[in-house]
Amino acid sequence: MIRFLAAAVATMVAVTIGASSASAAGMGMVDFTGTSSTGYLGGGASPIPRATVMYNGNYAPGTIVVNTAERRLYLVLGNGQALRYGIGVGRDGFRWGGVHKITAKKEWPEWTPPSQMIARRPDLPRHMKGGIENPLGARAMYLGSTLYRIHGSNEPETIGQAVSSGCFRMTNDDVTDLYNRVGVGTTVVVKN
């Protein structure tokens, strides 16, 4: 009888723990790495998790460094460290380099494809309201007078790939994290 009762209690504890974990995952709870377990912003988990790493570069803290060859974006923290994010970059023929500043930041931005993109893809909508289906995702940071942005994506599987028309894609969770850490005027160095 005692064995039966112990087995029943152990089963109830396991079910309770499993239900609590499933409930937390369903609510998009943040795990110990600071990333959402379900991608509550619709971007899913990045195949390249963000991490604080050692970083040797002559950039002031707060500078964003995009390394297109690595398909990584670094936010310089100082003291030889940076926060590293996985990104999607421009496909062949659409990669670029230079130094710009963030000139605008928008939450759930609207998207109007530029005429060059419409010429390549006439099937694209002429305008899209912001939202989870919008290819700019949850946040966008506009780079100088260019057509390019650092923006979110609802296609986390593209992170680490060369698929864009020159913009830098991040998961919605990662772009929101970066968006909250930088301001208009932040220097962005793009290394091609």
Q: Which residue has the higher pLDDT, 7 or 178?
A: 178
Q: C-alpha distances in angstroms, 95 versus 141, 143, 154?
A: 18, 14, 21
Checking if the pLDDT of 129 tops 90, the result is yes
**Residue 151 bears catalytic tag:** yes
Q: For 72-99, how does the pLDDT look when each residue is reduced to its tens digit (9 = 90+)?
A: 999 999 999 999 999 999 999 999 999 9
Candidate list 41, 73, 76, 167, residue with the active-site label:
167
Enter the tokens of residue 102: 């963030």
User: Residue holding tokens 């499933």?
Assistant: 22
Domain ranges of the chain: 1-30, 51-191
44-50 mean pLDDT: 86
Question: Percentage of residues in the chain with pLDDT exceeding 70?
Answer: 77
Q: In the prediction, which pLDDT does 113 show?
A: 87
Q: What whole-number distance in Å separates Cα of residue 181 and Cα of residue 48?
A: 19
Pick the CATH number of 51-191 from 2.40.70.10, 3.30.2350.10, 2.40.440.10, 3.40.50.12780: 2.40.440.10
Q: How many CB atoms lie within 10 A of CB 9?
A: 10
pTM value is: 0.76
Q: C-alpha distances in angstroms, 38 versus 18, 22, 144, 173?
A: 16, 11, 33, 10
**Residue 167 bears catalytic tag:** yes
Label each residue of the chain as H, E or C.
Answer: CHHHHHHHHHHHHHHHHHHHHHHHHHCCCECCCCCECCCCCCCCCCCCCCEEEECCCCCCCCCEEEECCCCEEEEEEECCEEEEEECEEECCCCCCCEEEEEEEEEECCCECCCHHHHHHCCCCCCCECCCCCCCCCCEEEEECCCCCEEECCCCHHHCCCEEECCCEECCHHHHHHHHHHCCCCCEEEEEC
Candidate list 143, 151, 174, 176, residue with the active-site label:
151
